């Protein structure tokens, strides 16, 4: 299918052939008929992408500070790699479309193939022939609403939510500052609600459109005087700011137009320097409207499908979408006069030249249209590519599941540098990231279905880089198909999953399995291990992790998706202790700081006891400052001390003699060494690079740590 994508590094928009996405539970696959370009929001993305690196830095000083902090912690070269990888990612454009349902995921009721729907959501209702949209971001269309009108539903919901925040009533006077798409939709909604509307804009064409929609509209120069006259000197009951400008002039004008104790709602992106005098004297309420309404940015609502109770949250974002569709169906809101341009998806780049000002033409409502009419057939979920310089036959074929940030920033560059495999295919549910990664790293195909990789006879090695809830299931399927598996941590997020994997590993002859516990393969780790290799007594290891804060809405916190931070990430550090001791722990005692309303079991201290008497103290913290180095390991054993600081320096002390090793420009956490060891084991038929009792014991130790937190007691770790 064709999709319009934006490259953040060079600013170029391009229509690309990508696999059709696969609907997840709670979502629906829609064949788009029309999508609307939101000129304000999408032009900002285009403008940012078109800037030079210096220009991007000047416009986002907050990100520059993060980059500098990262460079201090991890090294200049590591940071540059991460920055350029981020900029190289394709951005899916668009968030408002309409089309026909072609497939329905599990847990979706009330929709079926053939239904016509309006679609919403950044990353969902994108400019593409097919889109996957969660059920709460869909609104069924009655026959009276055509696709072109329905494509305005999302922007209409944004305007409607701003109008609702003003808490206006029939007969009140409303001022709308900025008569672009959002402003004109706000005019139409306010008129439909029985309000009189006063509009202000700089463009005479938009002023004329507002007047056609029943408003009295004037240019900015006449706004204050006309506003006083029309409001009989009292001012307006509410002011909706729908302008798109960094200037704070709309905010100042709103204060002048508003009556005492009125509400001013910022719907558009404007400067927010409030003039205190007038806002104080009139005791105005100023509210920044957040997109389409309650539920926006809540993953439990948007992705998880958990609705808000109707009696407590009357107007969610989903119900706002439905309300806009109802206004369109009744004829009380007419968006046809707002349409100025239509482009087929093949000319998407031309449409973006238009909204970025390159063509010099005036515009307002710009639509992208998609082929319709022909009989629907099963969508193409796999795109064949023609990679250059593929390795010779005889090397094991690699298939990759998942192409997120870890894949593109760490794993795939390692594969590229290491060689030794034939790059067969990449599969992701969305398809876009699979196509981009497959192109960039020279794979033969990109797909949106995992079955193109799992069980594929040309794929001897499967790399599993998906979200954590998929790991165990995909590991089991690959092992059952006789494929070797590299699984990014964790191996599993429940004991039942781990038991199933262990049972498979006991069968003979098993395919090889490893987990991305890369830190044990780092050069400094190997030096540290060698320094302790002739120890004859237990050791004490202190591992401190400044993990950094994650919002409670992050998927890693979700026990069903990420397993929580101890299971999902803490396993890395439990493995490192296991590596140094040589055996997995047998007992764990964990204690944590109170979570309050900010944390979720991610400020934790764990004491892990090992069979030889060694003790590992693992402190995992989310309440620190991210500019501080992330990891520090201190080892005390047999008159020796070792200090590993964030994989940038290693100090070894024995008999008063100190050795210090430093990596100035780049961290090396062992990713490449682990991958090369695994590929070599596959090719030579050797043992797995990490013993299976370590993989299983470390994972069980992470489960036991969570259980210890719950029980507030020591928990024995089952190792078999």
Query: How many Cβ atoms from other residues are within 10 Å of residue 640's Cβ?
Result: 16
Report how far residue 653's alpha carbon sits from residue 321's, in angstroms, rounded to the nearest whole number: 66
Report how far residue 714's alpha carbon sits from residue 588's, in angstroms, rounded to the nearest whole number: 6
Q: In the chain, what percentage of residues exceed pLDDT 90?
A: 80
Q: In the chain, what percentage of residues exceed pLDDT 70?
A: 91
Report how far residue 253's alpha carbon sits from residue 220's, in angstroms, rounded to the nearest whole number: 9
Asked if the domains 382-515 and 519-716 are classified in one and the same CATH topology, the answer is: no
Q: What is the torsion angle, in degrees rounded to the nearest 10, for the CA atoms of residue 479, residue 481, residue 482 and residue 484?
A: -50
- Condensed to tens digits (0 to 9), the pLDDT of residues 618-651 reads 999 999 998 899 999 999 999 999 999 999 999 9
- Does the pLDDT at position 58 exceed 60? no
Task: Pick the closest to residue 272 from 260, 296, 259, 289 (CA basis).
Answer: 289
Where are the chain's structural domains? 2-152+298-369, 172-288, 382-515, 519-716
Report how far residue 15's alpha carbon sits from residue 158's, in angstroms, rounded to the nearest whole number: 27
List the CATH code of the domain at 519-716.
3.30.360.10
- Condensed to tens digits (0 to 9), the pLDDT of residues 126-145 reads 999 999 999 999 999 999 99
- Condensed to tens digits (0 to 9), the pLDDT of residues 392-416 reads 678 999 999 999 989 999 999 999 9
- Condensed to tens digits (0 to 9), the pLDDT of residues 472-489 reads 999 999 999 999 999 999
- Does the pLDDT at position 52 exceed 60? no
Residue 322 is given by DSSP the state H
Using H for helix, E for strand and C for coil, what is the string for 627-678? CCCCEEEEEEECCEEEEEECCCEEEEEECCEEEEEECCCCCCCCHHHHHHHH
Half-sphere exposure of 341 (CA within 13 A, CB side): 22
Report how far residue 227's alpha carbon sits from residue 165's, in angstroms, rounded to the nearest whole number: 22
pTM of the model: 0.86
Cα-flanking dihedrals φ and ψ of residue 221, to 5°?
Answer: -65, -25
- Does the pLDDT at position 389 exceed 90? no
- Does the pLDDT at position 50 exceed 60? no
Report how far residue 88's alpha carbon sits from residue 81's, in angstroms, rounded to the nearest whole number: 11
Q: Provide the pLDDT for residue 90.
A: 78
Long-range contacts of 600-603 (CB under 8 A, 24+ apart): 600/552, 600/557, 600/564, 600/565, 601/564, 601/565, 601/566, 601/706, 601/709, 602/547, 602/550, 602/557, 602/564, 602/565, 602/566
Report how far residue 712's alpha carbon sits from residue 288's, in angstroms, rounded to the nearest whole number: 44
- Mean pLDDT score of the chain, rounded to an integer? 91
- Condensed to tens digits (0 to 9), the pLDDT of residues 251-275 reads 999 999 999 999 999 999 999 999 9
- Condensed to tens digits (0 to 9), the pLDDT of residues 188-231 reads 999 999 999 999 999 999 999 999 999 999 999 999 999 999 99
Report how far residue 48's alpha carbon sits from residue 244's, in angstroms, rounded to the nearest whole number: 15
Q: Provide the pLDDT for residue 686.
A: 86
| Token pair in block for residue 21 | 């996405």
Report how far residue 425's alpha carbon sits from residue 458's, in angstroms, rounded to the nearest whole number: 10
Average pLDDT over residues 300-326: 94
Q: Provide the pLDDT for residue 720.
A: 65
Of 217-221, 358-362, 489-493, the least confident = 358-362
Q: Provide the pLDDT for residue 38.
A: 84
Average pLDDT over residues 147-172: 96
Fold of 382-515: Rossmann fold (3.40.50)
Q: CATH number for 2-152+298-369: choose from 3.90.180.10, 3.30.1370.60, 3.30.420.80, 3.10.20.30.
A: 3.90.180.10
Superfamily of structural domain 172-288: NAD(P)-binding Rossmann-like Domain (3.40.50.720)
């Amino acid at each position: 299918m064709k999709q319009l994508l934006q490259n953040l590094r060079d600013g170029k928009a391009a229509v690309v052939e990508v696999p059709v996405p696969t609907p997840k539970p709670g979502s629906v696959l829609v064949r788009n008929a029309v999508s609307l370009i939101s000129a304000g929001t999408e032009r900002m993305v285009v403008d940012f992408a078109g800037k030079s690196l210096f220009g991007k830095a000047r416009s986002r000083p907050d990100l520059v500070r993060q980059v500098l902090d990262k460079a201090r912690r991890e090294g200049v070269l590591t940071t540059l790699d991460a920055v350029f990888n981020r900029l190289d990612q394709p951005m899916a454009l668009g968030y408002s479309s309409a089309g026909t349902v072609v497939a329905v995921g599990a847990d979706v009721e009330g929709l079926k193939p053939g239904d016509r729907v309006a679609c919403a959501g950044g990353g969902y209702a994108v400019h593409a022939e097919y889109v996957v949209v969660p059920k709460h971001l869909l609104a069924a269309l009655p026959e009276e609403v055509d696709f072109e009108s329905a494509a305005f539903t999302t922007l209409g919901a944004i305007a409607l939510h701003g109008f609702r925040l003003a808490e206006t009533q029939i007969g009140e006077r409303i001022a709308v500052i900025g008569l672009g798409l959002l402003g004109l939709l706000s005019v139409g909604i306010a008129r439909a609600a029985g309000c009189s509307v006063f509009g202000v804009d700089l463009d005479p064409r938009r002023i004329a459109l507002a007047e056609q929609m029943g408003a009295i509209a004037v240019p900015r120069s006449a706004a204050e005087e006309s506003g006083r006259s029309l409001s009989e000197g009292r001012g307006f009951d509410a002011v909706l700011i729908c302008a798109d400008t960094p200037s704070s002039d709309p905010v100042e004008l709103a204060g002048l137009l508003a009556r005492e104790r009125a509400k001013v709602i910022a719907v558009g992106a404007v400067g927010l320097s409030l003039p205190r005098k007038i806002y104080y004297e009139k005791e105005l309420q100023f509210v920044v409207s957040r997109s389409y309404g309650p539920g926006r940015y809540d993953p439990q609502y948007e992705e998880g499908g958990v609705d808000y109770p109707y009696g407590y949250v009357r107007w969610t974002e989903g119900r706002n979408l439905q309300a806009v569709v109802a206004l369109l169906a009744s004829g009380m809101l007419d968006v046809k006069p707002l349409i100025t341009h239509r482009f087929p998806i093949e000319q998407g780049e031309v449409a973006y030249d238009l909204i970025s000002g390159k063509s010099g033409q005036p515009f307002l409502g710009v639509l992208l249209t998609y082929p319709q009419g022909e009989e629907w057939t099963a969508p193409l979920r796999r795109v064949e590519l023609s990679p250059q310089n593929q390795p010779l036959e005889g090397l094991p074929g690699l298939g990759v599941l998942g192409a997120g940030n870890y894949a593109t920033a760490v794993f795939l560059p390692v594969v590229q540098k290491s060689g030794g495999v034939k790059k067969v295919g990449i599969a992701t549910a969305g398809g876009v990231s699979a196509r981009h990664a497959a192109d960039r790293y020279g794979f033969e195909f990109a797909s949106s279905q995992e079955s193109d990789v799992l069980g594929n006879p040309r794929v001897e090695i499967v790399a599993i880089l998906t979200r954590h809830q998929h790991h165990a299931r995909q590991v089991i399927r690959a092992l059952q198909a006789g494929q070797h598996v590299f699984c990014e941590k964790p191996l599993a997020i429940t004991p039942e999953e781990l038991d199933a994997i262990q049972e498979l590993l006991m069968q003979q002859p098993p395919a090889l399995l490893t987990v991305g516990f890369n830190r044990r393969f780092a050069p400094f780790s190997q030096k540290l291990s060698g320094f302790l290799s002739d120890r004859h007594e237990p050791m004490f290891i202190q591992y401190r992790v400044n993990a950094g804060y994650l919002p409670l809405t992050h998927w890693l916190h979700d026990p069903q998706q990420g397993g929580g931070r101890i299971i999902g990430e803490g396993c890395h550090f439990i493995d490192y202790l296991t590596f140094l001791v040589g055996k997995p722990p047998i007992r764990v005692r964990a204690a944590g700081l109170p979570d309050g309303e900010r944390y979720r079991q991610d400020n934790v201290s764990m004491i892990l006891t090992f069979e030889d008497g060694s003790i590992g103290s693992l402190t995992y913290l989310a309440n620190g400052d991210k500019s501080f180095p992330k990891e520090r390991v201190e080892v005390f054993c047999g008159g020796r001390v070792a200090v590993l600081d964030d994989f940038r320096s290693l100090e070894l002390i024995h008999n008063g003699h100190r050795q210090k090793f430093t990596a100035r420009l780049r961290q090396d956490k062992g990713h490449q060494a682990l991958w090369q060891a695994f590929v070599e084991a596959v090719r030579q038929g050797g043992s797995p690079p990490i013993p299976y009792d370590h993989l299983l014991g470390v994972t069980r130790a992470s489960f036991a740590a969570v259980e210890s937190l719950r029980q507030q007691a020591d928990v024995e770790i089952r190792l078999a």
